């Protein structure tokens, strides 16, 4: 895969000597004495330790410091965008994007019914109204024909979500957006590096948002980023992120902004993570391929497949559980836990949750939500661990 990774190498990372060797952090799952396999754990090691230590020793631990701009520039370039604006997390990135685009009361934003709640919340915070579109039964991402059906004179934006590392149908959605003069806010929190025809998640729309929570493709602990090619929008996001204060006039506030800044310590972790992002994605794709191979032909298990022309990053390797598999999805989650294997049920459709309940839930999202399971997906998983998980699933399939 052509990565376009900027020139960050181990050799560019300062090596501050540690007084005592810190615990070795690579490949943590394989070191758990009880054999428990978590759903996800970050892949951290020496590059992260060294940069955090350097930041600690420099005293630049808050939101001024060289690693913030470095991380923004490297990650935006990696995604193929001109500007990166770090934020305190993925939710604040999304909120900042919706706010900076001027959306508010009276406006509608079309959001997929199947996503993490932060997608819709970020719209709700501004006073705009999230309108839920059903998802495609094959890709599980927002269905363009559903979006088309839901566009009204109040619609101002579409928020595609690249669910579980699978790209939404961006070419079709961008066509719709152009035809109806809509902004596109890509929620790429789960899809760093995923692409369609080589064009990466987050770089298709007006603006793209990422999360760097500990279970994401790359992490800064907590953290987020917006990417965009629009210099004016980028400057506006940057200013709103810092209490609405223009860079050239301290303590002057043209409007009410936010403190959505990331710290230099977190950004340092992000810069170190950029040295391994390609390897994380390579491993995750290999892990997904191994799952698919070892579970092929198991009746009642359908693995998430990569869409045509797309590169999925398999944030969470996911499957649908149906008859004749002898356990329901919920029973399977419990049975796996008894085997010391962690898993997650799919998100509830947002139009079934109390704040957003419509009484008329999206049928495809509801069906997927009841049948879907996320399997352990850490980049640190060994092939022996994936084999153990697959053997357990095959045993359940055979004996219930
Ligand atoms: C699709 C989606 N959007 C937004 C977010 C919010 O990111 P954060 O947890 O960093 O606020 C997440 C996080 O899990 C997510 O999965």
> Rounded to the nearest whole angstrom, what is the distance from the C-alpha of residue 362 to the centroid of ligand 1?
21
Tell me: do 149 and 174 sit in the same domain. yes
SS3 197: coil
pLDDT attached to residue 25: 45
8 Å CB contact between 226 and 97 = yes
pLDDT attached to residue 8: 29
Q: What are 193-219's pLDDT values in tens digits?
A: 999 999 999 999 999 999 999 999 999
> Rounded to the nearest whole angstrom, what is the distance from the C-alpha of residue 117 to the centroid of ligand 1?
8
pLDDT attached to residue 3: 37
User: From the CB of residue 310, how many other CB atoms can be counted at a distance below 10 Å?
Assistant: 20
Confidence of residue 307 (pLDDT cuts 50, 70, 90): confident
Confidence of residue 18 (pLDDT cuts 50, 70, 90): very low
For the cut 80, the answer to whether the pLDDT of residue 109 exceeds it is yes
Range of the domain at 211: 50-274
142 CB-side CA count, 13 A: 34
87 CB near ligand 1 (under 6 Å):
no
186 CB near ligand 1 (under 6 Å):
no
Is 384 within the bounds of a domain?
Answer: yes
pLDDT attached to residue 399: 87
- CA distances (Å), origin 1, targets 282, 285, 287: 9, 12, 16
Is 33 within the bounds of a domain?
Answer: no
Cα–Cα–Cα angle for 61, 379, 164, rounded to 5 degrees: 95
CA-CA distance, 381 to 379, in Å (whole number)? 6
pLDDT attached to residue 5: 33
Tell me: do 67 and 109 sit in the same domain. yes
For the cut 80, the answer to whether the pLDDT of residue 28 exceeds it is no
User: From the CB of residue 155, how many other CB atoms can be counted at a distance below 10 Å?
Assistant: 19
Tell me: do 235 and 312 sit in the same domain. no
For the cut 70, the answer to whether the pLDDT of residue 9 exceeds it is no
Ligand 1 mutation pick, 161, 189, 217, 258, max ligand atoms within 8 A of CB: 189
Total number of domains constituting the chain = 2
For the cut 60, the answer to whether the pLDDT of residue 10 exceeds it is no
For the cut 90, the answer to whether the pLDDT of residue 141 exceeds it is yes
Among residues 252, 274, 296, the one where a domain terminates is 274
Is 5 within the bounds of a domain?
Answer: no
Tell me: do 78 and 184 sit in the same domain. yes
Tell me: do 166 and 90 sit in the same domain. yes
Q: Atom 8 in ligand 1: which residue has the minimum CA distance?
A: 90
Q: At 342, which CATH number?
A: 3.90.1150.10
Is 15 within the bounds of a domain?
Answer: no
Q: 87 pairs with which residues across the strands? A: 224
Mean pLDDT of 338-349: 98
97 CB near ligand 1 (under 6 Å):
no
pLDDT attached to residue 127: 98
Is 26 within the bounds of a domain?
Answer: no
Mean pLDDT of 334-352: 98
State percent of the chain over pLDDT 70.
92
> Rounded to the nearest whole angstrom, what is the distance from the C-alpha of residue 220 to the centroid of ligand 1?
13
Q: What are 253-273's pLDDT values in tens digits?
A: 989 999 999 999 999 999 999
Q: What are 353-373's pLDDT values in tens digits?
A: 999 998 889 999 999 999 999
219 CB near ligand 1 (under 6 Å):
no
Tell me: do 218 and 309 sit in the same domain. no
Q: Which atom of ligand 1 is nearest to the CA of 223?
A: 10
pTM exceeds 0.95 for this model = no
SS3 307: coil
90 CB near ligand 1 (under 6 Å):
yes
Residue 282, class by beta-carbon neighbours within 10 Å (0-12 exposed, 13-18 middle, 19+ buried)? Answer: middle
- Flag the least confident range among 8-17, 36-45, 184-193, 368-377: 8-17
262 phi, psi to nearest 5 deg: -95, 165
SS (H, E, C) 46-59: HHHHHHHHHHHHHC
> Rounded to the nearest whole angstrom, what is the distance from the C-alpha of residue 205 to the centroid of ligand 1?
18
Q: At 115, which CATH number?
A: 3.40.640.10
For the cut 70, the answer to whether the pLDDT of residue 14 exceeds it is no
Confidence of residue 6 (pLDDT cuts 50, 70, 90): very low
Confidence of residue 224 (pLDDT cuts 50, 70, 90): very high
Among residues 274, 290, 310, the one where a domain terminates is 274
Among residues 257, 274, 291, the one where a domain terminates is 274
For the cut 70, the answer to whether the pLDDT of residue 4 exceeds it is no
Tell me: do 77 and 182 sit in the same domain. yes
pLDDT attached to residue 31: 59
Mean pLDDT rounded to a whole number for the chain: 92
pLDDT attached to residue 29: 52
8 Å CB contact between 63 and 264 = yes
Tell me: do 326 and 389 sit in the same domain. yes
> Rounded to the nearest whole angstrom, what is the distance from the C-alpha of residue 122 to the centroid of ligand 1?
10
Is 22 within the bounds of a domain?
Answer: no
pLDDT attached to residue 359: 87
Is 35 within the bounds of a domain?
Answer: no
287 CB near ligand 1 (under 6 Å):
no
> Rounded to the nearest whole angstrom, what is the distance from the C-alpha of residue 14 to the centroid of ligand 1?
31
Q: What are 47-91's pLDDT values in tens digits?
A: 999 999 999 999 999 999 999 999 999 999 999 999 999 999 999
273 CB near ligand 1 (under 6 Å):
no
Tell me: do 318 and 381 sit in the same domain. yes
Contacts 24+ apart (CB under 8 A), 1-4: 1/278, 1/281, 1/282, 1/311, 2/198, 3/78, 3/193, 3/277, 3/278, 4/77, 4/78, 4/80
Tell me: do 70 and 114 sit in the same domain. yes
- CA distances (Å), origin 215, targets 42, 49, 222, 302: 6, 18, 10, 24
Alpha-helical regions (H) of the chain:
46-58, 66-79, 90-100, 118-125, 144-150, 170-180, 231-241, 264-274, 277-295, 329-338, 363-371, 383-399
State percent of the chain over pLDDT 90.
88
Tell me: do 197 and 114 sit in the same domain. yes
Q: 268 pairs with which residues across the strands? A: none
- Flag the least confident range among 14-23, 120-129, 158-167: 14-23
> Rounded to the nearest whole angstrom, what is the distance from the C-alpha of residue 91 to the centroid of ligand 1?
6
Q: Which atom of ligand 1 is nearest to the CA of 92?
A: 11
- Flag the least confident range among 29-38, 140-149, 239-248, 303-312: 29-38
Tell me: do 202 and 86 sit in the same domain. yes
50 CB near ligand 1 (under 6 Å):
no
8 Å CB contact between 199 and 167 = no
CA-CA distance, 339 to 31, in Å (whole number)? 17
Which helix (H) or strand (E) element contains residue 372? strand 372-374
Is 18 within the bounds of a domain?
Answer: no
> Rounded to the nearest whole angstrom, what is the distance from the C-alpha of residue 128 to the centroid of ligand 1?
19
């Amino acid at each position: 895969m052509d990565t376009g990774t900027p020139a960050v190498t181990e050799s560019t990372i300062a090596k501050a000597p540690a007084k005592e060797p810190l615990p070795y952090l690579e490949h943590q799952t394989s070191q758990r004495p009880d054999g428990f396999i978590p759903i996800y754990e970050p892949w951290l090691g020496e590059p992260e330790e060294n940069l955090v230590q350097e930041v600690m020793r420099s005293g630049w631990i808050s939101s001024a410091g060289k690693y913030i701009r470095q991380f923004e520039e490297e990650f935006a370039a990696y995604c193929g965008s001109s500007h990166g604006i770090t934020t305190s997390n993925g939710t604040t990135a999304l909120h900042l994007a919706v706010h900076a685009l001027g959306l508010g009361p009276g406006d509608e934003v079309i959001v997929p019914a199947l996503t993490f709640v932060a997608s819709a919340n970020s719209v709700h915070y501004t006073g705009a109204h999230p309108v839920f579109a059903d998802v495609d039964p094959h890709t599980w991402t927002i269905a363009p024909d559903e979006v088309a059906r839901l566009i009204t004179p109040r619609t101002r934006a579409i928020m595609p979500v690249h669910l579980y590392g699978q790209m939404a149908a961006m070419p079709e959605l961008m066509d719709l957006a152009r035809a109806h003069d809509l902004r596109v806010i890509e929620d790429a929190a789960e899809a760093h590096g995923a692409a369609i025809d080589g064009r990466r998640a987050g770089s298709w729309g007006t603006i793209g948002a990422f999360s760097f929570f500990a279970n994401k493709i790359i992490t800064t602990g907590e953290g987020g980023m917006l990417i965009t090619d629009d210099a004016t929008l980028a400057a506006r996001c940057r200013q709103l992120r810092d209490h609405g204060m223009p860079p050239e006039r301290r303590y002057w506030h043209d409007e009410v902004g936010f403190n959505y800044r990331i710290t230099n310590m977190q950004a340092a972790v992000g810069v170190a993570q950029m040295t391994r992002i390609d390897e994380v994605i390579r491993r995750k794709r290999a892990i997904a391929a191994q799952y698919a191979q070892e579970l092929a032909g198991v009746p009642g298990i359908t693995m998430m497949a990569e869409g045509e022309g797309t590169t999925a990053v398999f944030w969470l390797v996911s499957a649908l559980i149906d008859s004749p598999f002898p356990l329901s999805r919920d029973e399977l989650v419990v049975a796996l836990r008894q085997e010391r294997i962690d898993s997650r049920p799919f998100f509830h459709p947002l139009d079934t949750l109390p704040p957003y309940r419509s009484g008329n839930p999206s049928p495809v999202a509801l069906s997927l939500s009841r049948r879907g399971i996320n399997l352990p997906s850490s980049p640190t998983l060994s092939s022996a661990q994936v084999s153990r998980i697959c053997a357990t699933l095959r045993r359940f399939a055979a004996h219930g």
